[in-house]
Amino acid sequence: MTVEATDGITVGPSARPSQDTISLEIARYRPGHDEHPTFESYDVPYRPEWVVLDALNYLKDQVDGTLSYRWSCRMGVCGSCGMMVNGVPKLTCATFLRDYLPGPIRVEALANFPIERDLVIVLDDFIEKLPKIKPWLVREVEQPLEEGEYLQTPKELADYKQYSMCINCMLCYSACPVYQNDEHFLGPALLALGQRYNHDSRDQGAAERHDVMWTSEGVWDCTFVGECSVVCPKHVDPAGAIQQAKVESTIGWQLSFAPPVPPLPFGRKQAEET
Amino acid sequence: MVYPRQQSNFWYLKRWPYRIFILREFSAVFLAAYMVVLLILVMKVHDGPAAFHDFADTLQSPALIVFNTIALLFALLHTVTWFMAVPSAMQLRRGEEKVPPQLLIGAAYVLMLGASVVVLLLVLV
Amino acid sequence: MRRSSEPLFWSLFSGGGMIMAILAPVLIVVTAYLVPADQVEFGRLHAIFTNFFARLGLIVLAFFTFMHAAHRLRHTLIEIGFKRFAQPIAAGSYLAALAGTVWAAVVAFS
């Protein structure tokens, strides 16, 4: 059997009809100028190795310098290039033109967020809600520096690691009809973030977070549409995190009927000693 | 001036995942409606053989056959989507490793098939 | 700890969802296809439905199924644009489910 040397990148797409250009329909919104966003059509060179973000960069460099959008790392880490691509929230740096042949490709600002300009969204709502979840290690008493770091076993790490992979790209909010419907809903990423700390063996703030998370605005308005987990580029599975928190909230609710348990000696005792 | 986004009243018709979601949610209505049919059947059984056979004939009417078939399809949709969600609520771990979701889903189907066989044995044999 | 009613309704919703995920398809096959096709004897059904535990089981099944449906319908209606009526929808759904359960109890022990 002979194996022909092939250009790895073009193996897949070369099977499809080749084309020189692909058309992009981009939602433009100029504040103070436009009543509402309108689609404008642009042709860009088609390259199988190009992602949607490459096409946008081409347009901004070569065709229209006023086109506005956010991006930074171009490698799925910074979480700033999220946009709707044909109606689905995507990181445009990981969304290849070759998967949308022959085109056109519709690019819009992420759904469920106000638009600042063109493809740039307003994140204020998320930023205001973020501290409510206390996304840091809450300690009753900080361990003195000379005692070293808080140690953790691989098993304890595995308990929350998945939830710590979030890059705040907002794709999950954009996919979530509950967030769209309810302005008070904390949303998928923040609830997963709460689980990330609640499941961290070094953290002691779970009770404080439960007051925020075990409410309607927290986990209970979620109806498990599940799209947040589908669109998540980092496999955080916020829908699973919320389901898990619902189970924990239900157990906590059942325990609230049990007679009061004497305070756990650990931690408290430490607090009294210092 | 930022452009505020409005919620479409028919967002659930826009994409397949949302369409399946809304069908999944309305499966509950069919389950409840079927429960009513089941209770009527029990009522007829308590009323005696004549009432029961009358009702068995009624169940053969086209309208009820159509309803029952739709209810069965919705029940199957409910079963499939419910079992798919089981690993989300039951995140079991063996040490550092997650118990594979397929294992939990498989166990749910085994349970369902077992229960179905028991029901059929009770009723038929 | 604050007590929200959601864990109670969610538990019932989940219980009903699990029971019906397991039982609904086979039950529908029995009543919709086997009973009309004369495959099920009257005597057998009579024996089952007059058994004390089967009567109780029927009430439990009806309760969980109706509560499951009520909870799901309530949240879905809110989500598809009836948020303004959240209160009456919730009250109506759960009350209907309870009424259905009472009816089921009457039927089961008739």
How many Å lie between the alpha carbon of B36 and the closest alpha carbon of chain A?
A: 25
Mean pLDDT of A5-31: 71
User: Of the ranges A10-24, A185-199, B77-91, C92-106, which one carries the lowest mean pLDDT score?
Assistant: A10-24
pLDDT for position A17: 56
pLDDT for position B91: 84
What single letter denotes the amino acid at residue B51?
A
Interchain pair C10, A250: CB under 8 A: yes
CA distances (Å), A15 to each of A48, A55, A97, A98, A172, in order? 11, 22, 15, 11, 33
* Percentage above 70 pLDDT, chain B: 100
How many Å lie between the alpha carbon of B72 and the closest alpha carbon of chain A?
A: 22
Neighboring chain C residues of A216 at a CB cutoff of 8 Å = 4, 6
Determine the length of chain C. 110
User: Is the CB of A181 inside 8 Å of chain C's CB atoms?
Assistant: yes
State pLDDT tens for residues B83-120: 999 999 888 888 788 889 999 999 999 999 999 999 99
Neighboring chain B residues of A34 at a CB cutoff of 8 Å = 3
State pLDDT tens for residues C12-66: 999 999 999 999 999 999 999 999 999 999 999 999 999 999 999 999 999 999 9
The pLDDT of residue A15 is above 80: no
pLDDT for position B94: 82
The pLDDT of residue A270 is above 80: no
The pLDDT of residue C74 is above 60: yes
DSSP C8-73: HHHHHHHHHHHHHHHHHHHHHHIIIIITTTT-S-HHHHHHHHTSHHHHHHHHHHHHHHHHHHHHHH
C-alpha B98/C-alpha A40 separation (Å) is 47
Query: What residue of A is the nearest CA neighbor of C80?
Result: A181
A41-68 burial: b if 16+ Cβ within 10 Å, else e: ebebebbbebbbbbbbbbbeeeeeeebb
Chains near B, with 3+ CB pairs < 8 A? A, C
State pLDDT tens for residues A38-61: 999 999 999 999 999 999 999 999
The three-state secondary structure class of A251 is: helix
C-alpha A268/C-alpha A270 separation (Å) is 5
Interchain pair C73, B111: CB under 8 A: no
* Percentage above 70 pLDDT, chain A: 88
The pLDDT of residue A259 is above 80: no
Interchain pair B31, C21: CB under 8 A: no
User: Is the CB of A239 inside 8 Å of chain B's CB atoms?
Assistant: yes
User: Is the CB of A209 inside 8 Å of chain C's CB atoms?
Assistant: no
C-alpha B68/C-alpha B41 separation (Å) is 13
- Please give the biggest Cα pair distance in chain A: 76
How many Å lie between the alpha carbon of B100 and the closest alpha carbon of chain A?
A: 14
Mean pLDDT of A18-34: 93
pLDDT for position B9: 84
Q: Region of A26 please: left (phi>0), alpha (psi -120 to 50) or beta.
A: beta
pLDDT for position A8: 45
B16-26 burial: b if 16+ Cβ within 10 Å, else e: eebeebbebbb
pLDDT for position A37: 96
C-alpha A116/C-alpha A122 separation (Å) is 6
Instruction: State the pTM of this model.
Output: 0.89
The pLDDT of residue C1 is above 80: no
Q: Comparing C-alpha atoms, which of A173, A245, C91, A221 is closest to residue B91?
A: A245
Which residue from A29, A37, A180 is facing B7, i.e. has the nearest CB? A180
Which DSSP letter does residue C81 get?
I
Query: What residue of B is the nearest CA neighbor of A114?
Result: B4
The pLDDT of residue C109 is above 80: yes
pLDDT for position A221: 93
* Percentage above 90 pLDDT, chain B: 86
pLDDT for position A268: 41
Q: How confident is the model at residue A76 (pLDDT cuts 50, 70, 90)?
A: very high
Mean pLDDT of A166-187: 95
Neighboring chain B residues of C22 at a CB cutoff of 8 Å = 79, 108, 111-112, 115
C-alpha B21/C-alpha A239 separation (Å) is 14
Mean pLDDT of B43-49: 96
pLDDT for position B51: 96
pLDDT for position A273: 41
Which residue from A182, A214, A254 is facing C4, i.e. has the nearest CB? A214
What single letter denotes the amino acid at residue B88?
S
Q: How confident is the model at residue A262 (pLDDT cuts 50, 70, 90)?
A: low
DSSP B25-75: HHHHHHHHHHHHHHHHHHHHHHH-HHHHHHHHHHTTSHHHHHHHHHHHHHH
The pLDDT of residue A14 is above 60: no
| Tokens matching residue A167 | 């890059």
Neighboring chain C residues of A214 at a CB cutoff of 8 Å = 2, 4
Alpha helices in chain A (DSSP H): 52-62, 124-129, 154-158, 171-175, 177-181, 188-198, 206-213, 227-231, 238-255, 265-273
State pLDDT tens for residues A84-108: 999 999 999 999 999 999 989 999 9
pLDDT for position C101: 98
